[in-house]
Every structure is written in structure tokens, then in C-alpha cells.
Copies of this chain bind each other. A is one copy, B any other.
Amino acid sequence: MAAQATNAGPWTLHPDRALPAEPAQRAIARELYQAVSTLPIISMHGHIDVGAIRRNDSFGDPAELFIIPDHYLVRMLVSQGYRHQDLGVRPRGGSAVETDHRLIWRRFAENWKLFRGTPTRYWMEHELVEIFGITQEPSAETADAIYDQLNAALATPEYRIRDLFDRFNIEILSTTDAPDSDLADHAALATDGWGDRVVPTFRPDNLFYPGRATWRADVASLAAQSGIEITDYSSFLAALQQRRFAFVAAGARATDHGHLTANTTPLEPAEAKRIFAEAMSGPVDAATSEAFAGNMLFESARMSVEDGLVMQLHPGVQRNHSERILNGFGPDNGFDIPESVEYTQALKPLLNAFGHEPGFRMILFTIDETVYSRELAPIAGAYPSVKLGAPWWFLDSPGGMARFRELTTETAGFYNTTGFVDDTRAFASIPARHDLARRIDAGFLSKLVSEHRLTLDEATETAIDLSYNLPLASYARRDSAFREERTT
């Protein structure tokens, strides 16, 4: 129970949770937090299924909502000896999987202690208490009662996704979409009057790595969806550009690129053509695939200058580190491990070509904290096109967010960052994530105020900018007014 020092009494959330402990600083932080706590949510980097929003799906049972799809939570239980199938994650090839969802929930509740000190603990508390009105902390004893209470709530219309969308005060949410998406769900939402609330994001990674097993099928699908016959590198670029324009027409604000490295070196056109042709006729090796992917980041920047899509880059994760888990259960099951990533050299070709273009905008993310003060803040503090995204993935945590501000602000300031950007597949966690970010930024700003390095008025304005104005402006359509600011 976060609210109290002992386990007596009902489970509640303390109003000052995640604010600094020192009383004078906490009073300032509380005032800053109150200025932002009810601002609408800008959610420009989500991975929510657009079809679920269009259909206004319900979330199923508690295991289906909270456990089975949450790779943060599953990996923690796996790290302590559970197997994926024990937690309802379906093995490839039809092996047995636990189908008793009440038992799966109980396994989680019994192991509540494993999450102490983690953001999963914080998000889960927020969701259970704030969204579902749970009044008991998860444990072996309370597991069944909580399960029943959650199940009852989830069966009601108030817990369908569009109803929660309103209740969560989400102003705009981006989904993540493959280039071959027909965008039909987005079109249907527009017809419902939700066109400005749910927009797509263009995510072409699979097409940029010709070494991937699905690459030729993905190129074929791109050709089919774009209506452009892809016979060579030139028609491939044309088809990509066609789909980008279709995304822009459907309201997209951004592209998203999850690459192994930040390499942006362009290939000689003849070399790019040659690799493309080679890949169309058979497998290419990893180094060739990586070189082509770097070239495609450069080409994507060129296209962004033209069509105005904001370019997001997330490098540095070794996907599917455990082949046993990949082969047994598929990707995205908690075994992606970060590694060191270099930006200064890697981004130089792209930034030299496009970094000073007035219409170009690039947002950089990282899981390698060593680059904050060394590379990212100096780059964002110089190039007009570059902003720093919020702490990503494992770093979307109280300490991770605090370190981001500590390590980037002195060189890049607040205004070369995007403010908070969530990144989740877990719809019900979105308010908890934004609430936590607003608390941590309030805490950081309260330190500057209490050390007489900033006035309270300045800190309040900055807190509002980080929570609302900066995320909105960072992903604004280029043709819109750059600033659509709130001051209260």
C-alpha cells in the first residue's frame, strides 16, 4: 500500500506519491503538479491497435488486460522461474498453455513483491486504484477477490476502450502502422468524428532491412497497397513516398524507426540499386542489410523535408536476445536487450544534409543513458531540427525520467525536448504513465526553484509546456501554427 506506512486500512494512493521527500521542495513540487495534473493527454507514440478503438473493444478478463500482453510484467515473472506458457503466453506450434486465467492472475498477485521499486508496480497501483477502484493490495489472499471485482468492471460498457479514452482525457493518440496498412480503421474513425483524436504513424522498419525473412513479402504487399509495381530501387522509393502521402492524408504526424544502430550513411545510388536487386532475388547478409537500412534513414529524412512527417529514431536494442524464447513464443516477449549506441558519428551524414532544413524535424530516443550528456544534449542543443524524446522503454520510470532531466537540461534546456511521450501497448497504463511523468518533472523543477535557480512562475510555465505544449508542438503538422499553447 503506497499510501501508508503499514498495511492497515484500505489501499489508496497517496496524493504526494513520487514527489520529493524534503518538505519545502515537496510543497513546491505539489504546487507544480497541481498546475498540470488535469491537462489533457497528448499520446503521440503509442502502439494501441487501431481496430480495437474502431470496434470499441472491451479488454477481456484481468489476465488478458494486465498480464498476458505485458512484456514488462511477463519478463519479471519469467526471470524468477515461471515459463511464458504458465502466464498464458501461447507457444508457437500449439504446445500447452495455461488457460485458467484466474490462476494466471493469482501467480502475478502472489509475486507482487518482485515489482517493488519498478515502474510496473507504480503503474499497476494507479490502474487498480484509480481506474478500477480496487481497495486491497495484490497478494495470495486477495487475488481472487480482486480478480472478481476487475472482471465485473470489465464486463460493463464504462470499461470499453472509447469510453476510457474520454475518461482518460486523451486529446490525441497516435497508433503505429505498417506502410502496407490500408488505413481503413483510421478512415472509419474519421467518419465517426474521431479523425483528429486517433492518427496513424508510418513505421517502415521491415521494409528497410532487406535481410529480414519477411522482406520480399513486405515489398510485395507495399506494391499492392501503393498500386505501384516495384521492380527496382526507384519504384521502391516511389511506393514508399506514395504511402507516406496516404498517411499524411489520413492525419499522420510522424514516422517511427526502430533500428539496431543510428547509422544514416547514404549509399551511392548505384550501390543502393544493386543491393535492392540482390535482395529481390535472394538473401542478403546482415552487414548489407544494415547498410541498406542506414541508407533508408537518410532517404526518409529527404522525404520528411518534402512531406513534413516528423522523423522518430529509436536505435540500440538487440531484439530477441534469447533464441529459445523467439522460437518458442515469437518476438516482443521481454527478451530484447539494449546495447551501447553511438549517435555523433552515425547521425552526421543525415544532419549535414538535412539538419538545417527549415521544415525538417527529428526526434531522438535512446535506452543508452551514457549518450544523454555526451551526445544527445549537445546535438539537440545545436541543430534546429533535433529534439530529444522522452526516456524510452526501461527508462520510462521515476529514476529514468529524473536522470534524463538531470543529464540533458544543462546543455539542451527544456525547449529542445518533446516533453512527455509515452510508448506502450497497454492502453490502461497511459494515464498512469503521464501522471508519473508530470510528478517527476514537477520534482525536478522544484529542485531548481528551491535552489533559487528558477522562479515558481517560470517553473509552472515550464511544467505546463512539458506536459502539454511541447508534445503537441513537437508533433504538430508543419502547416499548422507552430505553437498552440496552454498557459493554465
Contact = CB atoms under 8 A, between A and B. Distances in A.
A172 to B, nearest CB: 24
A471 interface: no
Interface string A431-464: 0000000000000000111111111111001100
A17 B410 contact: no
Task: Count the copies.
Answer: 3
Contact of A81 (B114, B338, B384, B395): B384
Given A323-B352, A370-B374, A447-B21, A318 B340 contact: no
Interface residues of A, number: 103
A410 B383 contact: no
A326 B190 CA distance: 47
B321 A348 contact: yes
B383 A322 contact: yes
A335 B119 CA distance: 37
B324 A356 contact: yes
A488 interface: no
A382 interface: yes
Contact of A80 (B122, B324, B415): B415
Contacts of A409: 117-118, 399
A411 B118 CA distance: 6
B375 A338 contact: yes
B394 A400 contact: no
A484 B378 CA distance: 39
Contacts of A14: 452
Nearest to A379: B337
A19 B447 CA distance: 10
Which of A79, A122, A450 gathers most chain B CB within 10 Å? A79
Contacts of A383: 79, 322
B21 A80 contact: no
* Leading 10 A-B pairs by shortest Cβ distance: A14-B452, A21-B450, A397-B410, A17-B452, A117-B409, A339-B344, A5-B456, A75-B382, A394-B411, A370-B370
Given A113-B415, A113-B461, A117-B448, 9 more contacts: A116-B448, A318-B345, A324-B352, A335-B382, A339-B344, A339-B374, A367-B373, A367-B374, A399-B407
